[in-house]
């Protein structure tokens, strides 16, 4: 099936559902204007576009982590690749991670379809790592490896998170009026 | 991409990326051959048969379905286009800019007026300084003082601001702060003293969302007495980057009483270099071309690539970098300037492109947008004089570092003042507010494209108020009262956090002074250059070290024209001491 046609049909089929949802929401919507000064019509704190929370898998119960993104150093106020991808320096911090004997934690970033994988490096003994990533949407995850130089992960996934941009889901296919950020469950 | 507009920038195909499962045709600019049922997505209300001076739906991406409740809505102000009631044929055809070489004491007559401009074979009524596009290139030596006898022959009050120049305050050109607006038919005499070598620009500071967008801008090149200030180069090009929003009926009208596109600023769909949609340059193999780039657009941040060449950045707003650096592309926000050198080593025709990752919030995907702004034809014949060696040695400007050394004792000083950036949104149509609430899934640190054209177009100063807020006092915009002494060095923190209904990046500009971008998100800058404009991405905290070197009342504001018009400005005072 051609992806392009499938996409068109999906949009057209879902449009009545979207409009119906609209009508429901409009009927129930509060009349107050949205304002940054305490209105009920908008989220209290929109998600930070430069922060990733790492969520543990069953292989790392009790561990946690976070990743701060900032634009990599450059002569410009914003750092991009030639193709326009945001070029981020990242700083990872992991807490409470207990590794199996002989294993090291290696950090990776990958496109959601795992088509592009970037090895970010080995987590230091103090649970930190600095790296660089220039993908639009990406997953960040740590795996337990016996070989610290491995070029593609083979061990179990320990913690995972997704880029803030990964929250940008299709309104047509996801449920346009859900306000729960999927980041709380890792994606 | 903007399928309802005609007269394209040469936009390349939208390509899926990063695993986004969206594949789209390269939509022709006219949209007529894309095979889509425009009516099914509500896109049958665009400009094909519209009154050019009336409100109409702006051109937009055809894949975005229209919200029925928004169709038929207009911005809450009357529409405005220049030259109403005037036969365009009676207006002068705009000519490409001339160079005004001025010495100390010289006078330039400068007139803002109506012109006819031809872009992509279509003729529009626009504005120009001295009937030119861009406005005359003023070239003067450092330390010179020139006189500008300005006459306003437009139908709107205006004034001229000399952007980046540390001139005498009373000539800064800010209505309500340093002067009254110059009325239609009125005159004003400016004295412009050039304290610093560099590339600057001049533009209106009253309804610049209209007048600057329609062509009232020009550059000033202030030359250094040091013959070795710049590397040797084979050619120099002073280039203005801009965009214009048009459809089949013409230029999309502006708001007469207040700015439209108040949320994100007006993104154009035709990208221009020096006012042309098809900039052309000829070079020889091995040529080093020095480009002085100025972004005069209302809101667009460019990511400019000089394909086929090796690019080196050497300077910015108010001087040279401590160290030159090779770069893949030049990221330039509204009002910023960058000086780059490009070594063209490969014969052939090479493009100058804008490459961005646009966002489609409806589908939740990124897509690559490539716009070709111009071409450089490199002849196979070797350059007459090779400057390759100078190009390839990344110069360290020790004099720049030495000057900055005097300020390094302030690098770790505590923050003196802190600003927060945000927006208040009032009575926009309810469907629009609901859509914006949904969009809070994700905000991009920089808005590279108009992600919500209809919502953006409908928002005016009646509905949207952008603000700068003094964190210490809670005062906002023109209620902020900062005062400094001449000679003060001030650490100013600007925080752009996402706690508002529609946060976005802001290019912040300080009048009359210069600053260093000290830190971004807690990381010290490694290569300084004096600036007057710095982009603050969403989610970032940026520290500026400002040298208060010029007495008077000076404006600090966002340089997205529509944000300025809807309140995002303040005035600080520097006492003579």
- Could you give the CA distance from residue B260 to residue B239 in angstroms, rounded to a whole number? 27
Q: Chain B within 8 Å of A174 (Cβ-Cβ)?
A: yes
Distance between CA atoms of residues B226 and B366, nearest Å: 47
List chain B pLDDT tens, one digit each, 577 residues. 333 233 334 454 344 344 343 322 233 233 333 344 445 544 555 555 568 899 998 888 766 666 777 778 899 999 999 998 888 899 999 999 999 999 999 999 999 999 999 999 999 999 999 999 999 999 999 999 999 999 999 999 999 999 999 999 999 999 999 999 999 999 999 999 999 999 999 999 999 999 999 999 999 999 999 999 999 999 999 999 999 999 999 999 999 999 999 999 999 999 999 999 999 999 999 999 999 999 999 999 999 999 999 999 999 999 999 999 999 999 999 999 999 999 999 999 999 999 999 988 777 889 999 999 999 999 999 999 999 999 999 999 999 999 999 999 999 999 999 999 999 988 777 777 777 666 666 788 999 999 888 889 999 999 899 999 999 999 999 999 999 999 999 999 999 988 777 889 999 999 999 999 999 999 999 999 999 999 999 999 999 999 999 999 999 999 999 999 999 999 999 999 8
B201 plus B274 within the same structural domain = no
Cβ <8 Å between A78 and B446: yes
The C-alpha of A18 sits at a distance from chain B's nearest C-alpha, in angstroms, of: 10
Which residue's structure tokens are 């279509």?
B122
Same domain membership, residue B160 and residue B132: yes
Cβ contact, residue pair B23, A4, below 8 Å: yes
Q: In the block, which residue shows the tokens 């009631």?
A: B85
Is the same domain home to B448 and B516?
yes
Last residue of one domain, picked from the residues B208, B226, B244: B226
**Tokens, residue A71:** 């634009």
- The secondary structure of B342-355 as a DSSP string is EEE-S-EEEEEEEE
Count the neighbouring beta carbons within 10 Å of the beta carbon of residue B487.
11
- CA–CA min distance A136, chain B (Å): 6
Q: Look at residue B67 and tell me if it is in a domain.
A: no
Q: Do residue B368 and residue A115 have CB atoms under 8 angstroms apart?
A: no
Same domain flag for B356 and B454: no
Cβ separation B362–A170 shorter than 8 A = yes
Residue A99: DSSP 8-state: P
| pTM confidence score | 0.88
Q: What are phi and psi of B141, to 5 degrees?
A: -80, 155
Residue of A nearest to B325 (CA): A75
Give all strands (DSSP E) within A38-167, no chain letters.
51-56, 64-71, 88-95, 104-110, 117-122, 128-133, 139-145, 157-162
How far apart are the C-alpha atoms of B48 and B6, rounded to whole Å?
A: 10
Please name which of B315, B244, B558 lies closest in space to residue B420, comparing C-alpha atoms. B558
| Window B:5-24, CB contacts with A under 8 Å | 17-24
Q: Return the percent helix, strand and coil in chain B, to nearest 5.
A: 10, 45, 45
- Which of B442, B521, B559 is the mutation pick for testing A, counting most A CBs within 10 A? B442
DSSP string, A10-27: HHHHHHHHHHHHHHHHHH
* Domains along chain A with CATH numbers: 1-42 (no CATH), 51-167 (2.60.40)
Instruction: Tell me the CATH number at B151.
Output: 2.60.40.420
B329 contact residues in A (CB cutoff 8 A):
80-82
- What is the span of the domain harbouring residue B178? 88-226
Sort out which chain A residues have CB atoms less than 8 A from B532's CB and list them: none
CB contact under 8 A, A168 and B359: yes
Last residue of a domain, one of B205, B226, B247: B226
A137/B521 touch (CB, cutoff 8 Å), yes or no: no
Domain final residue, candidates B159, B191, B226: B226
Is the Cβ pair B313, A75 closer than 8 Å?
Answer: yes
The count of structural domains within chain B is 3
Residue B402, domain member (yes or no): no
């Amino acid at each position: 099936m051609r992806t392009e046609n499938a996409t068109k049909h999906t949009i057209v089929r879902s449009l009545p559902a979207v409009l119906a949802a609209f009508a429901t929401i409009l009927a129930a919507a509060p009349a107050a204007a949205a304002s940054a000064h305490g209105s009920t019509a908008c989220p209290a704190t929109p998600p930070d576009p430069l922060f990733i929370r790492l969520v543990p898998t069953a292989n790392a119960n009790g561990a946690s982590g976070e990743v701060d993104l900032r634009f990599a150093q450059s002569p410009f106020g914003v750092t991009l690749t030639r193709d326009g991808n945001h070029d981020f320096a990242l700083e990872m911090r992991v807490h409470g991670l207990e590794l199996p004997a002989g294993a090291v934690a290696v950090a990776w970033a990958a496109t959601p379809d795992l088509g592009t994988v970037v090895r970010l490096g080995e987590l230091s003994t103090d649970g930190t790592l600095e790296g660089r990533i220039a993908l639009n949407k990406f997953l960040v995850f740590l795996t337990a490896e016996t070989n610290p130089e491995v070029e593609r992960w083979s061990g179990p996934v320990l913690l995972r998170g997704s880029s803030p941009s990964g929250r940008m889901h299709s309104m047509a296919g996801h449920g346009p009026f859900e306000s729960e950020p999927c980041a709380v469950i890792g994606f | 991409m903007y399928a309802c507009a005609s007269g394209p920038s040469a936009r390349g195909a939208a390509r899926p990326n990063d695993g986004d499962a969206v594949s789209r045709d390269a939509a022709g600019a006219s949209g007529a051959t894309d095979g889509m049922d425009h009516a099914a997505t509500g896109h049958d209300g665009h400009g094909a048969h519209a009154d050019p001076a009336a409100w109409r739906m702006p051109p937009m991406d055809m894949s975005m379905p229209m919200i029925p409740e928004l169709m038929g809505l207009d911005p809450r102000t009357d529409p405005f286009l220049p030259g109403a009631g005037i036969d365009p044929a009676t207006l002068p055809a705009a000519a490409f800019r001339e160079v005004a070489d001025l010495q100390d004491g010289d006078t330039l007559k400068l007139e803002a007026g109506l012109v006819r401009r031809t872009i992509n074979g279509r003729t529009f009524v626009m504005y120009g300084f001295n009937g030119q596009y861009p406005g005359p290139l003023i070239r003067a030596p450092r330390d010179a003082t020139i006189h500008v006898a300005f006459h306003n022959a437009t139908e709107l009050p205006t004034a001229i601001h000399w952007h980046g120049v540390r001139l005498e305050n009373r000539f800064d050109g800010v209505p309500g702060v340093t002067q009254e607006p110059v009325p239609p038919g009125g005159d004003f005499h400016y004295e412009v003293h050039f304290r610093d070598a560099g590339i600057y620009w001049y533009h209106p500071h009253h309804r610049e969302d209209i007048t600057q967008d329609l062509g009232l801008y020009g550059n000033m090149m202030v030359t250094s007495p040091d013959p070795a200030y710049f590397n040797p180069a084979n050619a120099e090009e002073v280039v203005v980057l801009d965009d214009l929003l048009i459809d089949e009926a013409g230029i999309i009208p502006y708001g007469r009483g207040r700015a439209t596109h108040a949320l994100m600023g007006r993104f154009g769909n035709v990208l221009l270099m020096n006012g042309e949609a098809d900039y052309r340059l000829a070079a020889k193999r091995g040529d080093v071309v020095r480009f002085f780039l100025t972004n005069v657009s209302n809101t667009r941040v460019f990511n400019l690539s000089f394909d086929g060449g090796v690019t080196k950045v050497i300077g910015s707003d108010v001087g040279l970098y401590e160290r030159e650096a090779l770069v893949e592309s030049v990221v330039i926000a509204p009002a910023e300037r960058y000086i780059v050198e490009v070594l063209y080593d490969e014969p052939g025709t090479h493009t100058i492109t804008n490459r961005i990752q646009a966002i489609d919030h409806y589908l939740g995907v990124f897509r690559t947008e490539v716009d070709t702004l111009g071409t450089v034809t490199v002849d196979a014949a070797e350059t007459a004089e090779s400057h390759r060696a100078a190009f390839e040695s990344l110069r360290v400007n020790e004099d720049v570092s030495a000057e900055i050394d005097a300020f390094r004792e302030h690098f770790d000083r505590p923050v003196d003042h802190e600003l927060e950036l945000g927006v208040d949104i009032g009575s926009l149509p309810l469907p629009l507010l609901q859509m914006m609430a949904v969009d809070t899934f994700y905000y991009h640190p920089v808005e590279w494209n108009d992600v919500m054209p209809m919502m953006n177009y409908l928002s005016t100063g009646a509905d949207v108020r952008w603000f700068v807020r003094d964190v210490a006092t809670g005062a906002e915009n023109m209620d902020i009262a900062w005062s400094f002494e001449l000679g003060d060095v001030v650490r100013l923190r600007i925080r752009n956090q996402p706690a508002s209904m529609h946060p976005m990046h802001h290019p912040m500009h300080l009048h009359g002074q210069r600053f260093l971008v000290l830190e971004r998100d807690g990381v010290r800058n490694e290569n300084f250059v004096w600036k007057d404009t710095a982009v603050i991405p969403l989610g970032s905290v940026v520290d500026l070290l400002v040298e208060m070197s010029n007495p008077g009342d000076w404006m600090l504001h966002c340089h997205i024209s529509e944000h300025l018009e809807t309140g995002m400005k303040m005035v600080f005072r520097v006492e003579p001491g």
